[in-house]
Every structure is written in structure tokens, then in C-alpha cells.
Structure 1
Amino acid sequence: MEHFGHLLVVALLRALSILPYPLVARLGSALGAALYALPSRRKHIVLVNLYLCFPEKSERECDELAREHFRHVVRSYLERGVQWFGSARRIRKLVQIESAIDLEDRNAPPTIFMGFHFVGIEIGCLHYSLKMPAASLYTHMSNTRLCDLARRQRGRFGAEMIERSTGARRIVRLLHEGKSVMLAADMDHGIENSVFVPFFGVPACTLTSVSRLATIGHARVVPFVTEVLPDFKGYKLNVFAPLSDFPSGSDTNDARSMNAFLETQILKFPAQYYWVHRRFKHRPEGMPAVY
């Protein structure tokens, strides 16, 4: 049954990849709205996150934002068909780029491209790998077949896929070779190698890996965010200037800077951030669990 289920997922994604993008996006949005109407653990997580991060919003406003978020999240799952199986030409056509740096500079210094878990992160990484060779970190999934599929399709344009928990030495080696590494560090992966710093005023367990890797690899840190454009017009990859004074020599200060930057981007399109993740899974000693 597991094998049959995997084949069904692949077949569905391949079928979605040949449909017009606006149709796939509309289907995903409608399905997301329908699923939001049902009680679920993920819906609970989203609402808790929104209540914590936006205490000034009313219950109704949080509910509307959560519903819009479900539309975006489910839509992003269906759009994996285009992202994983669409042609390079089609992906280039779907993504606009606005960059503060030259993305094709062969003499660029070692660079850590720091992404964040917005719903469009997948296609942003894919599009960059079409322009320049890069390495990209991924988190191992419990479903081995799906994990293998994701790793293969995410790396199909030449990106070297590195498993997060085992890849530190490989990342440092690549940076010393002057190559680029793409990673995201805005999830709660446990208190090891993390610090508690504010995220919308709430203590959040935040990884210090970006700071440490940048220090060891003598790399600049360049944030990027992929935005889903309105009216089903595709995506916009925003690449920002390198963060100043980063790394600063303090893991805590760097984690604060990272979260502060992320907050400014979330406020631009709050429904597109991955609120379905348990961002506050771990809490400082003495603080109650929230989920």
C-alpha cells in the first residue's frame, strides 16, 4: 500500500505539472478553504501562532488570516507538481527576480543564501539553481520514498542536496571553495545549538547555525524571500543585500537580527508564512507549552 500511495502521489504531481498554473493555483486555494472548515491539529497550531504573534488582532481577524494561510499552504502543495516536474523554461517564466546583488557573479565571495519558510521558498531555490551551482540543505522526512523524491526533484537542476543533520562539514568545505549554500533556519529544531530570542515579542527557539557557519566559512549572509504574486501571476524572488555586521561575534545577537529581519518580511504578506509549523514547540524553562 505504501508503494501504491507513493506512485499515486507521483502520478498526481506529474498530472498537475501539465495543467495551466492558474488552474492549479485556484484548485489549491479552493481546497485549502474547504479544509480550513474542518477541525484539525494544523488549524489549531496556526491559530495559536497567530494569537501569540499578533495579540493586537481580534479573534475574527486571526481566523480570516488563518483561512487565507490554509489557502496558500494547500495551494503550495499542489504547485509542487509544477515545481518538481515542470520544465526549466516554465519555471523561469513563472518567477520574477529582484536582486540587490549580481546573482551570476562568478567571482562572488562565499555566500550563505538565508531563506525563510514562506510558501514560495521551494520555487525560489529551484530558480536560483538554474542560474548558478549551489548546495541546498534539506530536513530528512519520516517517509523515505517521499524524502528521496523531494531530494531528487529539488536537485534536478544541479543543486547539491545536503541533509541538515549531517552536513556541517560539507557546507564549510563548500564555502571555503567559494561556493554558495542555501539554507533556512527559522524553524524550531530543538534547544541544542539554539538560543531563545524574540519572534514578534515571543521567546522562540532559534538556530544559531547560520551565524556559526558564516563565521567558520568566512561567508556573507544574503537573505532571500519568495513571494506569491496576486492574481495567479506566479512568484517574485527577492534577494536582499548581505546583512551588515553578520556574523557579529554573538550568536544571540545574530539570532535576534535574523528574527527581526524575518518579521519585516512577514508583515508584508503574513498569510504566506508557514504558520502551520510549531514555531514555539520548545519554551524557556518555566514557561507553559502552547500547543
Structure 2
Amino acid sequence: MKRIGFAFLIGVLRLCAVLPYGWVARVGHGLGLVLYAIPSRRRHIALTNLRLCFPNRTDAEYEALGRAHFAHVVRSYLERGVQWFGSEKAIRRLVQVESHIDLAADASVPTIFMGFHFVAIEVGCMQYSAGAPVASLYTRMSSQRMCDLAKRQRGRFGAQMIERGESARKVVSILRAGTPVMLAADMDQGIKNSVFVPFFDVPACTLTSVSRLAKLGRARVVPFITEVLPDYQGYKLTIFKPLEGFPSASEEEDARRMNEFLETQVRRLPEQYYWVHRRFKHRPEGLAPVY
């Protein structure tokens, strides 16, 4: 049954890759609204996160934002068909790019592209990898089949896929050789190599890997965001200027600055951030669990 289910999933994704993008996006949006109406653990997690990060809103406002978020999340799952199985041309057609740095002129500078878990993060990474060498860190999934599929399809334009947790020496050697590294460090991965710093004034267990790798690789840290454009027009990848004075002498201060940058983008696109993740899974000693 697991093999049949996996084969069905592949079939759905391949179908989504050949259907018009607007159709797929609209179906995903509608399905997300239906699924939000059904009580679930993920809905509970999303609403808990929203209440923590945006206090003093009304119940109706939380419901509206949660519903819009579910529509984006489910839509992103179907749109992965285009991202994983669509042509390079199709992806380039869908993704607008705005860069605040000269990517070609600065190609030799050791660079960490620091992404965040907005719903469209994957398509931005794949669009970049279609045009330039890059390595990308990923987190192993619980399903080996899905992990192998995701790794293969995410790297199909030449991105070097590196499992999070592999030797830091490997990542550093890649940086010093002139290949940029893409990673996202805005999820709760446990208290090891993490610090508690505010995220919307809530203590959040935040990885310090960006700061450490930047120091070891003597790399600049360049944030990027991929957002979903309105009216089913595709996506926009924005590459920002490098963070000044990053990394600093303090990993905690670097983690704080990373969260502050992320907050500014979440406030701009609140429905597109990945609220269904347990961002506050680990809590400082003495604070009660929130989920």
C-alpha cells in the first residue's frame, strides 16, 4: 500500500507539471480552504503560532489568517509538481528575480544564501540553481522514499545536495572553493547548537549554524526570500544585500539579527510563512509548552 500511495503521489505531481499553473494553483487554494475547515493538529499548531506572534488580534482575524495560510500551504504542495517535474523553461517563466547584488560580478566571493521557510522557498532555490553552481543543505525526512525523491528533484538542475548534519568541513571547503551554499536556519531543530532569542518577542530555539559556517568559510551572508505573487502570476525571488557585520563575535547576537530580519519579511507576507511548523517546540527552562 505504501508503494501504491507513493506511485499515486508521483502521478499527481507529474500531472500538475503539465497542467496550466493557474489551474493547479487554484485547485490547491480551494483544497486548502476545505482542509482548514476540518479540525487538525496542523491547524492547531498554525493558530497557536499566530496567537503567539500576533497578540491582541480578534478571533476572526486569526481565523482569516489561518485560513489564508492553509490555502497557501496546500497550494504549495501541488505546485511542487511544476517545481520537481516541470521544465527549466517553465520555472524560469514563473519566477521573477530581483537581486540587490551583482550575482555575476560577485560570484567568486564566498557566499551563504540564507533562506527562510516561506511556502515558495523551493522554487526560488531551483530557479537559482538552474543558472549558477550552488550547494544546498537539506533536512532528512522520515520517509526514505520521499527524502530520496526530494533530494533528486531539488538537485536536478545541478545543485549539490548536502544533508544537514554532515561535516562542517565539507560545507566550508565548498564555500572556500567559490561555490555558494543555500540554507535555511529558521526552524526549531533542537537545543543543540542553538540559542533562545526572540522571534516576535517569543523565545525561539534558533540555530547558530549560519554564524559558525560564515566564520569558518569567511563568507558573507546574503538573505533571500521567495514569495507567491498575487493573482496566480507566479513567484518573486528577492536577493538582498549581505548583512553588515555578520558574523559578529557573538553567535547569540547573530541569531537575534537573523530573527529580526525574518520578522520584517513575515510582517510583509504573514500568510506565506510556514506556521504549521512547531516553531516554539523547545522552550527555555521554566516556560510551559505551548502546543
TM-score normalised according to structure 2 size: 0.99
Query: Equivalences for 1:137-286 in 2 at 5 Å?
Result: 137-286=137-286
- CA gap of 1:167–1:90, structure 2 versus 1, over 3 A, is farther
How far apart, CA to CA, are the structure 2 residues paired with 1:221 and 1:256?
14
Once the 2 structures are TM-superposed, how far is the Cα of residue 56 of structure 1 from its aligned partner?
2.4
Query: Equivalences for 1:31-180 in 2 at 5 Å?
Result: 31-105=31-105, 107-180=107-180
Amino acid at match of 2:197: V
| Contact in 2 for aligned 1:33/1:67 (Cα 8 Å) | yes
Equivalent position SS for 2:246:
coil
Amino acid at match of 1:108: S
How far apart, CA to CA, are the structure 2 residues paired with 1:27 and 1:33?
10
1:220-264 per-residue CA deviation (whole Å, 9 max, x = no partner) reads 000000010000000000000000010011000000000000000
| Contact in 2 for aligned 1:103/1:131 (Cα 8 Å) | no
How far apart, CA to CA, are the structure 1 residues paired with 2:79 and 2:63?
24
Aligned counterpart, 2:25: 25
TM-score normalised according to structure 1 size: 0.99
How far apart, CA to CA, are the structure 1 residues paired with 2:270 and 2:171?
31
Amino acid at match of 1:205: C
Equivalent position SS for 1:65:
helix
- CA gap of 1:107–1:144, structure 2 versus 1, over 3 A, is closer
How far apart, CA to CA, are the structure 1 residues paired with 2:103 and 2:94?
18
Once the 2 structures are TM-superposed, how far is the Cα of residue 107 of structure 1 from its aligned partner?
4.2
Amino acid at match of 2:58: S
What do you get for the CA RMSD once the two structures are aligned?
Answer: 0.8
- CA gap of 1:106–1:198, structure 2 versus 1, over 3 A, is closer
Q: 183-192 or 56-65, which moves further after superposition?
A: 56-65
How far apart, CA to CA, are the structure 2 residues paired with 1:49 and 1:261?
18
- Gapped regions of structure 1 (runs ≥ 5): none
Equivalent position SS for 1:157:
coil
1:41-61 per-residue CA deviation (whole Å, 9 max, x = no partner) reads 000000000000000211110
How far apart, CA to CA, are the structure 2 residues paired with 1:106 and 1:214?
16
Amino acid at match of 1:192: K
Q: How many residues align?
A: 291
> How high is the sequence identity, in percent, across the aligned residues?
65
| Contact in 2 for aligned 1:45/1:275 (Cα 8 Å) | yes
Once the 2 structures are TM-superposed, how far is the Cα of residue 108 of structure 1 from its aligned partner?
3.0
Equivalent position SS for 2:268:
coil
- Gapped regions of structure 2 (runs ≥ 5): none
Amino acid at match of 1:56: N
Once the 2 structures are TM-superposed, how far is the Cα of residue 165 of structure 1 from its aligned partner?
1.6
How far apart, CA to CA, are the structure 2 residues paired with 1:108 and 1:220?
11
| Contact in 2 for aligned 1:104/1:132 (Cα 8 Å) | no
How far apart, CA to CA, are the structure 2 residues paired with 1:44 and 1:21?
30
Amino acid at match of 1:37: A
Once the 2 structures are TM-superposed, how far is the Cα of residue 106 of structure 1 from its aligned partner?
6.2
How far apart, CA to CA, are the structure 1 residues paired with 2:230 and 2:108?
33
